[in-house]
Amino acid sequence: MREHGVEVRVVRPDREGVLRPEVFEGEVEGAKLVTLTHVSNVLGSVNPVEEITRLAHEHGARVLVDAAQSAPHLPLQVEKMGCDYLAFSGHKMLGPTGIGVLYVREECLGELEPLCLGGGTVEEASSSGYSLTVSPERYEAGTLPIAEALGLGEAIEYLERVGFGALASHEREVVRRLQKGLEGIKGVEVYGPSDPNRRVGIVPFNVEKRDPHEVATLLDRSNIMVRSGHHCALPLHREFLRLPGTVRASVYLYNTLEEVERLVGRVEEIVHGP
C-alpha cells in the first residue's frame, strides 16, 4: 500500500496484546480506514471493537474488522459493533476451506470496488463500459463455490444449535485450566492476557531452552496437535513479543478437560526431559 502512496500507521497493543482506544486516538486523525483484528490469532486477546469503531467514526474513518478468530467463538452483533466492514473465514467455523464471509454495511456498498468482475456483478454492460450493481452480488463474480457455501451454511447452523453461550462457557473452563496448568510449570512462559476470561480459545507458550518447533514435534509424537512458529504474524512476534516463535495451543467445543491434562502433563515431561 505504501507503494501506492498510502500512509500506513501501526498501533501497538499493550503488554497483554490488547489494542487500547486511547492509543488509537493519537493515530486516527486524518485516517480514511481503521482496520483491526477482533481477536488475536496468536494471543487470544479480545480487542474493544465498539470503542475503537466509535472513535474512528468520530474522526470520519471507516472501520474494517478481521473476525476470523472471533466468529467461531463469540456471537457477532455487527450493528452493536458499529463497524463498516467485517470479514471471517469458513474453515475456522468448522466449515470447508476456500470460502469466507464479508459483511458490508448497507450505506457502504457503493464505496467498495470489487476485486473481480464477472457475471452477476453488473447492472449494465456494453462495449463501451459497465455499471456495477449496488447489491451484495457485486462482490460475487461468476460461478460461486456452491459446495463450500452449502458446507459453511451447515456449519453455522450447527454452531447455532449448540449455542454460542454454551460454547463460550465450555471454552472458558477449558482455557482457564489450560492456562493455569501451563503457568504452573517452571520453565514454561505463557503469553497474552493474564486473566483467562479475557482470552478466547488460544494459549501460546514457550518452553525454556527449547525451540517451539521442537516442542510441537514432541507433542505431535504423543498425538497432541498444536501449532508452532509465527502463526502468520511475524511482526507481532519480532516487534512486540521479541520471540522467534511460540507454541500455540488452541481449544474449541470438541476439546475436553482430560485432553488439557494430557497436554499439560506432556509439556511438563518435555521440560524435565533430555
- Give the range among 95-99, 135-139, 213-217 with minimum mean pLDDT: 135-139
Instruction: Report the CATH fold assignment for 1-99.
Output: Aspartate Aminotransferase; domain 2 (3.40.640)
Report the pLDDT averaged over residues 61-89.
Answer: 96
Distance CA 8, CA 13 (A): 16
pLDDT for the residue 130: 87
Residue carrying the nine cell digits 453461550? 165
pLDDT for the residue 119: 83
Nearest by Cα to 38 from 2, 79, 83: 83
Note the pLDDT tens digit of each residue in 186-243: 999 999 999 999 999 999 999 999 999 999 999 999 999 999 999 999 999 999 999 9
Residue 65 pLDDT > 80: yes
Active site residue 232: yes
pLDDT for the residue 274: 66
**Mean pLDDT, the chain, integer:** 94
pLDDT for the residue 273: 82
Q: Which residue has the higher pLDDT, 118 or 174?
A: 174
Instruction: Report the CATH fold assignment for 164-272.
Output: Aspartate Aminotransferase, domain 1 (3.90.1150)
How is the chain split into domains, by residue range?
Answer: 1-99, 164-272
pLDDT for the residue 124: 87
Q: Could you tell me the pLDDT band of residue 115, with boundaries at 50, 70 and 90? A: confident
Q: How far is CA 162 from CA 25, 73, 158, 184, in A?
A: 39, 12, 6, 32
Percentage of the residues of the chain whose pLDDT score is greater than 70:
100
Helix 164-183 × helix 146-162 angle, to 10°:
80
Residue 117 pLDDT > 90: no
CB 227 within 8 A of CB 204: no
pLDDT for the residue 111: 86
Q: Which residue has the higher pLDDT, 4 or 225?
A: 225
- Buried b vs exposed e over 54-64: b needs ≥16 C-beta within 10 Å? ebbbeeebbbb
Give the up-direction half-sphere exposure of residue 192: CA atoms within 13 A in the CB hemisphere.
32
Q: What single letter denotes the amino acid at residue 89?
A: S
Distance CA 229, CA 214 (A): 10
Q: Which residue has the higher pLDDT, 133 or 87?
A: 87
For residue 212 the three cell numbers come to 517451539
Residue 18 pLDDT > 90: yes
For residue 17 the three cell numbers come to 496484546
- Give the range among 30-44, 66-80, 97-111, 122-136 with minimum mean pLDDT: 122-136
Q: DSSP labels for 134-149?
A: SSGGGG--SS--HHHH
Q: DSSP labels for 54-69?
A: HHHHHTT-EEEEE-TT
Phi and psi dihedrals of 77, rounded to 5?
-115, 90
Report the pLDDT averaged over residues 102-106.
Answer: 94
Active site residue: 83, 108, 116, 232, which one? 232
Report the pLDDT averaged over residues 9-16.
Answer: 93
Q: Is the pTM of this model over 0.85?
A: yes
